[in-house]
Amino acid sequence: MLIVLLPEKFSKFVDYKYQIKYLKKNLNTKVEVHDLFSVVNKNWESYFPGKRYGKVKVFHKLNDWKQYFRNKIKNDRKLIVINLLGLDSFKSLLIYYELYKSKVKVALFKSPEVCIEPRAYNAKFYQKFLKGFELLFSNFNRLKRFIKSKIIFKIGSFFTFDELIIFYSGNKNNILPYTDAKKFSFVSIHSSDYSNHLLLNSNKKKNPRQNYIVFLDSKSPYFISDLQIFGYKINYNEKLWYEDLNNFLKLIEKEFKSKIIIIPHPRVRHLKNPNYLKRFKIRKDLEASAKLILNSKFVISATASTAVSYCVINNKPFNIIFNNQVIKKNQTMWKDMKYMSKVLKTGLININNGFDKKKFSTTIDKKIYDKYKYDYLTSKKISEKMNHEIINDILLKEDQKTFLR
């Protein structure tokens, strides 16, 4: 039996991202999803509006899950757990401890799937000290969270699992930190976007480039961003941002004689954002990025998003846009934007500075795109197999030699 532990509500987006539907359909064993959102992240309820999707096991109390899990182990000692929880709260620490005690085989997904400005987890001691000192004077709540996360991860580092399977995409050097184990199996898979691209477009051919431009939006400022959930204070002038954005997108349509298609962030795609002009077409289907970027002229993004993967996969130029507010009020996001632009040699456009066609990226550097592809998205040796197929082979030990390193 395979159990998948989720730190968030099971939604259509989560089902799509991790190909849960295909795991359940094709895996040669029973698959059970445990929705632990109310256990580990109950204070985030207002940040994740919307109903749960599908038939999954939903738990509201830690003890209820522990009892249920222990009963499962009694009945199936060969049980395998895919643990998607981060080691970032005391409740998640207790779940890690339960998994450690159970001696079951555990699999973790430990890839960033996107290039972001290096964080504190791979910083030197003095850099971590300076970060804590900076937070002391700028945001006390973030300082508390910073210290708490370090304590939790330090405690978790003492859990030595019998066996861990580490799923990662791209270059093994980019793997995120993980707990210790007596035995490791490192398994190369695709990023979720790359795998879903294969799922949707494996039998499709590129059509001649069509006359539209894709705009990939972020969650904020209309919706709460992930950074705000983690304690960052970001006080955007929402009205000003959307005025700047709509004016810029109108200008792009005029200059390139092409229609703009807006694709909202996948976590809020099911919700309405009233700030877009009615002239722009909005696509809300989960497959929109994978389908539309394929034959677009180029892509514009308001964030250093994982969805940029579809640009790399399909060799599409893209440009990251921002305004003066981002620089002043969201330094973390601004650093990620600059870093991605530097890595991929793509356009980085301040929409408050007017339009300069020369600064716009309308071509790509194929060598740079290929390097990014194999650093973050996939590996040459796993070819065209989709993630649910690789997971099936690995967990059931049908063809491990092909994938294990």
What the block records as the tokens of 229 is 């959930």
What the block records as the tokens of 238 is 């929402």
pLDDT(398) > 60: no
What pLDDT is attached to residue 202? 61
Residue 59's contacts (CB-CB under 8 Å, 6 or more residues apart) are 34, 35, 36, 38, 39, 65, 68
Residue 333's contacts (CB-CB under 8 Å, 6 or more residues apart) are 225, 227, 303, 304, 326
Residue pair 308/263 in contact (Cβ under 8 Å)? The answer is: no
Q: How is the chain split into domains, by residue range?
A: 2-144+153-190+379-402, 202-376
State the Cα–Cα distance between residues 251 and 37, nearest whole angstrom: 42
Q: What is the mean pLDDT of the chain?
A: 84
pLDDT(309) > 90: yes
What pLDDT is attached to residue 148? 80
Residue 191: closest CA among 99, 290, 97: 290
What pLDDT is attached to residue 120? 47
What pLDDT is attached to residue 258? 94
Compute how many other C-beta atoms are within 10 angstroms of the C-beta atom of residue 335. 15
State the Cα–Cα distance between residues 296 and 260, nearest whole angstrom: 10
Range in 137-151, 193-207, 285-299, 370-384 with the lowest mean pLDDT = 137-151
Reported as a single tens digit per residue, the pLDDT across 83-132 is 999 888 899 999 999 999 999 999 999 888 888 776 544 555 444 555 44
pLDDT(400) > 90: no
The CATH number assigned to the domain with range 202-376 reads 3.40.50.2000
Confidence of residue 330 (pLDDT cuts 50, 70, 90): confident
State the Cα–Cα distance between residues 201 and 14, nearest whole angstrom: 20
34/238: higher pLDDT:
34
Q: Evaluate the omega torsion of the peptide bond into residue 7 and state whether it is cis, within 30 degrees of 0.
A: no
**Environment class of residue 176 by beta-carbon count within 10 Å: exposed (0-12), middle (13-18) or buried (19+)?**
middle
Taking the C-alpha atoms of 265, 271, 277 and 279 in order, what is their torsion angle to the nearest 10 degrees?
90
